[in-house]
A and B are shown apart, each in its own frame.
Chain A
Amino acid sequence: MRVVIAEDLALLRDGLIRLLQAHDFTVVAAVDNGPDLHTALTHHKPDVAVVDVRLPPTFTDEGLQAAIAARTHIPGLPILVLSQHVEQLYARELLSDDTGGVGYLLKDRVFDIGQFIEAVRRVADGGTAMDPAVISQLLARQDHKGPLAQLTPREREVLSQMAEGRSNSAIAGRLYITEKAVSKHINNIFTKLNLPPSSDASRRVLAVLAFLNGQ
């Protein structure tokens, strides 16, 4: 699997390269600034990119901007964004093109190598990987309006697991329910959120997006 890495701190960049190479990824480019990232993404069209939000030259959200810009050229280009802090605002922006293949995780999540590699693979496959911190911020809001308010607490739990990117069987394992029950909950969620029948993957993305938008 071909991967592009963007991280300005050499120590972390080398760590990520080693980590991904050890798990059968081919690192086609490892860059340390925004403009180079944009070039690498559009030129290599990797299977997945792991991108730090804050990059030179501006040291603002250069990485995020480059990722979003590249996705307008290459719709659905899988990108996993890493950051020292998570903002729901950014999660929303990343997901807003409805094409999936997006991850947004705290840098600490790299510690758990198994889960991190799984998240990279999931994003490469067009799925999502939202950080639990984003999800818990959302769940702290008591005032969901519109369709989200109609979800039962159980359905909301299932939806937040979905947002983190878990598969049906993983959700079943986490919530101690059968896979059949999970898929029933998910179907209810799709109906309540008015998501038109289409491929399961894209409906999952739309459901997560609705969740992030707090609708």
Chain B
Amino acid sequence: MATATPHHRAGRLTTLAYLFLLLSQNIAALLLLPLVLISAILTLTWIGLPFVILTSSLLRTLADSQRRTLTHLNPKNPLHSAYRPLPPTGITRRGTTIITDPATWKDLLWLISAVPSLALLTIPTTLLLHGTYHLLHLLHLTGPALYDFYTPTTPLQHLLLLTTALTLLTTGYLLLPPATDLYTRFNRLLLAPSEKARLTARVAHLATSRANTIDTQAAEIRRIERDLHDGAQARLVALGMNLGMAEHIVEQDPHTARAMLAEARETTRHALTELRALVRGIHPPVLVERGLHGAVHALALTHHLPITVTIDLHGRPADPVESAAYFAIAELLTNTAKHANATHARVHINHGKDRLVITITDNGQGGADPTNGTGLIGIQRRLDAFDGTMNITSPPGGPTIVTLEIPCALSSPKTSPSSETA
């Protein structure tokens, strides 16, 4: 819930630029208003429903764009939307969901309030424009007559005109911040989702992420079971058989028994190699021994590319967070090696605002698509369990920058800033 907007954080010029953006959004809102009203009337018959779906999607896009602008004006107090998720199919069901969503009605209120909002923004803007016009006229940069009917001739008239111009400009300039402030407060109030809507959206998100987490874990456990069953377990059976047979024939045929024992030793070695790979996939030992710090350095050392690792953590995140972060980094670096065609990568880890922030950059060809590839979706799912986010910037031609953020606290203050190229 956004309540108050502290006084203009951005400079006056920036505020002015945003002002024009807000103005254009409000003008668009005014244009949309009749369309919405028409579709509202049409809803009385079934024909209106497709219109409602169409106009509401336009309305939501517009409202969201204003939410983003208002967030830019005051980034500390972000404004999110919280609409009920729409059913994927069925015009009636979609239409009903939209109409019964209180957020729709709040948006409508915002749309109607575009008129007073526009007036609020127009006052300082008009004053400034007129002041500038007067000033330009004084400098003989406009036509001969002011507003086409009045031409100042005497010095006194010029002085009067100058006074008017300065008064207009000053008033406009002074009014600009309070008008924007009032506008921001008013619109934030209308655009902020209600507490109930916010919580509903949150619950829906948690339900999805919980289901994903359970799915991911179940799949992991199945994989481990299969690996143990087909790998180490099977090898131990073979080992026992070999040993049993060797024991049986050791006196009659020591030579064959000896060969069988050697085979048994080899089987043990294979089983150990498999178990080692399995353990690494579950929870790498170096992560237990050295934490995220050591594990990421160890990872960089054995990677195919030179990787610069900088870690600035005062303490350690909880074990599950370390593990998720480690596997995400490992997966992303594997992707870099496989697809990016890069010659160098960087991993930066720090902690701020109660979040673990991991940035992975490479100088490759870019074009990574977060919606494509099971690896990236897997990372997103892992992070979802912690309310973490993944952000990928990868324009064609590169570079690729992936930012992971995981909300978490750090335990046991232990300074370990370090930087190393592997």
Which A residues fall within an 8 A CB radius of B?
53-54, 59-61, 84-85, 87-89, 92, 106-108, 111, 137, 140-143, 145, 214
On chain B, the residues within 8 Å of A145 by CB distance are 306
Name the residue of chain B whose CB is nearest to the CB of A92. Answer: B301
Name the residue of chain B whose CB is nearest to the CB of A59. Answer: B288
Determine which of B265, B280, B286 lies in contact with A89 in the assembled complex, contact meaning CB atoms within 8 Å.
B286
| 22 A-B residue pairs with CB within 8 Å | A54-B289, A60-B290, A61-B289, A85-B276, A85-B279, A85-B280, A89-B290, A89-B294, A89-B297, A89-B298, A89-B301, A107-B272, A108-B268, A108-B269, A108-B272, A108-B273, A111-B265, A140-B302, A140-B304, A142-B304, A143-B306, A214-B301
Per the bound structure, the CA–CA distance linking A88 and B242 in Å amounts to 35
Name the residue of chain A whose CB is nearest to the CB of B422. Answer: A214
On chain B, the residues within 8 Å of A92 by CB distance are 301
On chain A, the residues within 8 Å of B276 by CB distance are 84-85
Q: Say whether B301 contacts A88, CB under 8 Å.
A: yes
Per the bound structure, the CA–CA distance linking A61 and B42 in Å amounts to 73
Interface of B is mostly: helix
Q: Say whether A143 contacts B305, CB under 8 Å.
A: yes
Per the bound structure, the CA–CA distance linking A85 and B268 in Å amounts to 15
Given A84-B276, A111-B268, the answer on whether A54 and B306 have CB atoms closer than 8 Å is no
- Scan residues 260-309 of chain B and give those whose CB is less than 8 A from a CB of chain A: 265, 268-269, 272-273, 276, 279-280, 284-286, 288-290, 294, 297-298, 301-306
A106 CB → nearest B CB, Å: 8
Most buried by A among B284, B301, B304, B305: B301
On chain B, the residues within 8 Å of A141 by CB distance are 302-304
Q: A87-B286, A89-B301 are in contact. List 8 more A-B contacts (CB 8 A).
A: A84-B272, A88-B301, A88-B302, A89-B294, A107-B272, A108-B269, A108-B273, A111-B265
How many A-B contacts if CB must be within 8 Å? 55
A99 CB → nearest B CB, Å: 22
A49 CB → nearest B CB, Å: 19
Per the bound structure, the CA–CA distance linking A59 and B288 in Å amounts to 8
On chain B, the residues within 8 Å of A142 by CB distance are 304
A10 CB → nearest B CB, Å: 19
Given A53-B289, A60-B290, A111-B265, the answer on whether A87 and B298 have CB atoms closer than 8 Å is yes
The 9 closest A-B CB pairs, nearest first, are A61-B289, A89-B298, A60-B289, A88-B301, A137-B302, A87-B298, A85-B285, A111-B265, A108-B269
Most buried by B among A107, A108, A140: A108
- Scan residues 318-377 of chain B and give those whose CB is less than 8 A from a CB of chain A: 343
On chain B, the residues within 8 Å of A108 by CB distance are 268-269, 272-273
Per the bound structure, the CA–CA distance linking A142 and B343 in Å amounts to 11
Q: Say whether A54 contacts B285, CB under 8 Å.
A: yes
Name the residue of chain B whose CB is nearest to the CB of A85. Answer: B285
B347 CB → nearest A CB, Å: 15
B400 CB → nearest A CB, Å: 18
B176 CB → nearest A CB, Å: 57
